[in-house]
Structure 1
Amino acid sequence: MIRLFAWSQKKFDQFLFDATDARMCSVLRVGYATLLLVMLGQLAGEAEVWFTDVGVLRSESAEQFNEYAKESVLFWLPATSSVVYACLGLLFFNAVLLLLGCWSRLQAVFIFVGLTSFQHRNPLIFDGEDTVFRLMIFFMIFMPLDHAWSLSKSWTRRCRSRDRVSTAWALRLVQFEMTAIYLSTAWSKWQGETWRDGTALYYVSRMEDVFGRGWLPDWLFETSGILHSMTWSVLLLETLLPVLLWIPATRRYAILLGIGLHLSIEYAMHLFLFEWIMILGLLSFVKLEDLFPRTDDGGSRDSQPTELARECENLHSRER
């Protein structure tokens, strides 16, 4: 039993703190910053309505029903339009610096504080999409975001061999988040009778406030066999994704299927940036060394796996 526990502990330690290609963290940085700029642009258009005392929810009222009011810096400041737009402007500035790779981990801290402040100032207008945004930027605080495509790295001109890899634990947090989302979604849908009997998508297609972004023929949802097949396919895929994403042999197919699912939903429904932030989260499972093998320092592609493995081993020993 002791040996089994020691073996399990060792494997879990390797899983969390093994080395990974740091370029994936930079991919997440660029993708996240791009989506964040879009979201901030949408918020700016209605900021006075949602976040000031001349809008629909005064700060005193928000504090009364919001148990997280102390976590928003907006409650410490005057609830005026100038203050709100100044805070949004700072958040926009941080997002631009994150996109360019200027001290990105520091920008991630500021963005996390900013998003938390706005979301807790008026939680009535935010949903699960915004929670994913907030959690992901928190995890990114602990990633080597400036590893690639970064102004900070070009300014410091550092290109050390050990910079190629990073411990995987912060990236694992994003992967755990994605797994939890799919697990909870599948569990929730299995509780619904319409998902089990294969008719759920019919009712989804009648939600005129969110459905109908792209044209789809009515017969898709009015033909029993097709309707049941589509509904059960969605349910089956969301049930299997949390497992298939962690199996190396099926990971690539799971990522492609997941991206296809989210692009299909994006085509059919008005859900703003939720599908795109989910696609970005799926990319955290991608191993860039499989797609774009390194050829740094004049090394051949055949020699790269050996070099990367050696670097991983050295990094793992240093972490210990």
Structure 2
Amino acid sequence: MIRTLRPRLDAALDRATVRPYSLYSAAALRVGTGLLALAYLLRDIANAPEMWGPDAYWTPEMALRLNELNGWTPFYTIAATDSAAAFWLIYAGAVAASAAFTLGWRTRATSVVFAVLLCAVQFRNTFVNDSGDHVVRLFALYLTCTACGRVWSLDARRRARYGDPGPGDGLRERLTALLHNTALLVVAGQVMIAYGSAGMYKVQGETWQHGTALYYALQLNAFRPWPEVSDWVTGHGLLILGLAYLTVFAQLGLPFAVFSRLKYPFLIGLVASHAGIAVLMGLPLFSAAMVIGDTVFLPDRFWRRAARLVRRLGPVPAKPAGPPPEGTAPRPRTPEPAGEAAVRRSR
């Protein structure tokens, strides 16, 4: 039995360590996570002292005590200070790290700084955070273990300009690939658990079974940024019923369809669901965080095809009309090798 399983285990280990997979999805996660963190920090910058700074009702002593009770690591509490200068230094560092991480500048080092400072700010007062903050924070921690700067980054541009030094030590490359692939699997598992558990909770509720859950949610003043649109949607019973069932079906079905092509219809349904949440319930950043998490299920070939499609649909560069400028010599014709010419004539 062991002799039969060992070749399979060796082959699986080779596949996991031969190269990092889904580099484009990792880059999409990096860009999306960095932009969302930057949006959160800039959105709340005017009220930052009252939310996470020295003017917050949640004092540094209370924050330190809560973190100790929860067993969180020390870097979560570096922003627990009464000094306004120290707080703004940490906050400005988090903003700068978010921008650098989004652009992919020195990504390996920047990803760690970004995760530490983002967690430091948010864990200063966890009671003002929302679900979107939680998702972004998780992605930031996981991305520190990935090679998310290999493509779509300033690092990739620098390597292309000055030449790639090539792969390093074989063991180091294998460990990097293994860590990257494992981290992406953890992200995918986290997203599937979030969708699966949300779907399971929904199907146990009577309002979701009857298809009326969205109707009651859209009656709450906290989730009515566009009252006229909410009233129009709730005025159509079949639409409310269809949206409720579509949400539950997409959330429950994705974990089972993720390893097949059926995942694409489920992902489209989930993206549409999050778009509705962003517009109807006024939660754009949370919806964007979940959509960014969905990109982990897209393979590299999807991103390559999308890039080719964008280039094909883009503007075609105009060719200069008329004869070539005076004094321009015609391009010399490369002589064909004699052997190839003889073969072509014989055909």
TM-score normalised by the chain length of structure 2: 0.74
Deviations 1:119-166 (A, max 9, x none): 221111113222211111111112112212322333343447879x95
Aligned mate of 1:119, from 117, 122, 127: 122
Alignment map for 1:88-99 (pairs within 5 Å): 88-99=91-102
Aligned mate of 2:81, from 78, 81, 98: 78
Aligned mate of 1:145, from 125, 144, 148: 148
Aligned mate of 2:211, from 170, 173, 198: 198
Q: CA deviation at 1:87?
A: 0.5
Q: CA deviation at 1:245?
A: 2.3
CA separation of 1:4 and 1:231: change in aligned 2, threshold 3 A: farther
Number of aligned positions between the proteins: 293
Q: CA deviation at 1:229?
A: 2.6
Partner of 1:311: none
Deviations 1:169-200 (A, max 9, x none): 32222211111110111122123221122211
CA separation of 1:218 and 1:155: change in aligned 2, threshold 3 A: closer
Alignment map for 1:229-244 (pairs within 5 Å): 229-244=242-257
2:157 match: secondary structure? helix
Q: Which amino acid aligns with 1:98?
A: F
Contact 2:63/2:80 (<8 A) preserved: no
Distance 2:246 2:79 in 1: 49
Contact 2:79/2:120 (<8 A) preserved: no
CA separation of 1:11 and 1:245: change in aligned 2, threshold 3 A: farther
Q: CA deviation at 1:17?
A: 4.9
Distance 1:41 1:49 in 2: 15
CA separation of 1:197 and 1:84: change in aligned 2, threshold 3 A: same
Distance 2:138 2:111 in 1: 11
Contact 1:16/1:172 (<8 A) preserved: no
More deviation in 217-226 or 197-206?
A: 217-226
Distance 2:61 2:279 in 1: 40
- 5+ long unaligned stretches in structure 1: 296-320
Contact 2:31/2:102 (<8 A) preserved: yes
CA separation of 1:219 and 1:130: change in aligned 2, threshold 3 A: closer
> 2:190 aligned with 1:177, yes or no?
yes
More deviation in 224-233 or 130-139?
A: 224-233
Q: CA deviation at 1:37?
A: 1.1
Deviations 1:76-118 (A, max 9, x none): 7632222211101011111121122211121111121112222
Distance 2:157 2:14 in 1: 32
Contact 1:52/1:79 (<8 A) preserved: yes
Alignment map for 1:227-306 (pairs within 5 Å): 227-247=240-260, 249-292=261-304
Contact 1:111/1:137 (<8 A) preserved: yes
Q: Which amino acid aligns with 1:283?
A: T
More deviation in 144-153 or 2-11?
A: 2-11
Distance 1:211 1:8 in 2: 55
CA separation of 1:77 and 1:190: change in aligned 2, threshold 3 A: closer
Contact 1:101/1:150 (<8 A) preserved: yes
Aligned-pair RMSD on alpha carbons? 3.1
Q: Which amino acid aligns with 1:252?
A: Y
TM-score normalised by the chain length of structure 1: 0.79
> Identity, % of aligned pairs?
21
More deviation in 274-283 or 193-202?
A: 193-202
Partner of 2:341: none
Partner of 2:315: none
Distance 2:256 2:244 in 1: 20
Q: CA deviation at 1:225?
A: 3.7
Contact 1:214/1:269 (<8 A) preserved: no
Q: Which amino acid aligns with 2:283?
A: L
Partner of 2:331: none
CA separation of 1:129 and 1:4: change in aligned 2, threshold 3 A: farther
> 2:135 aligned with 1:132, yes or no?
yes
Distance 2:12 2:130 in 1: 33
Partner of 1:63: 64
> 2:209 aligned with 1:208, yes or no?
no
Partner of 2:55: 54
Q: Which amino acid aligns with 1:255?
A: L
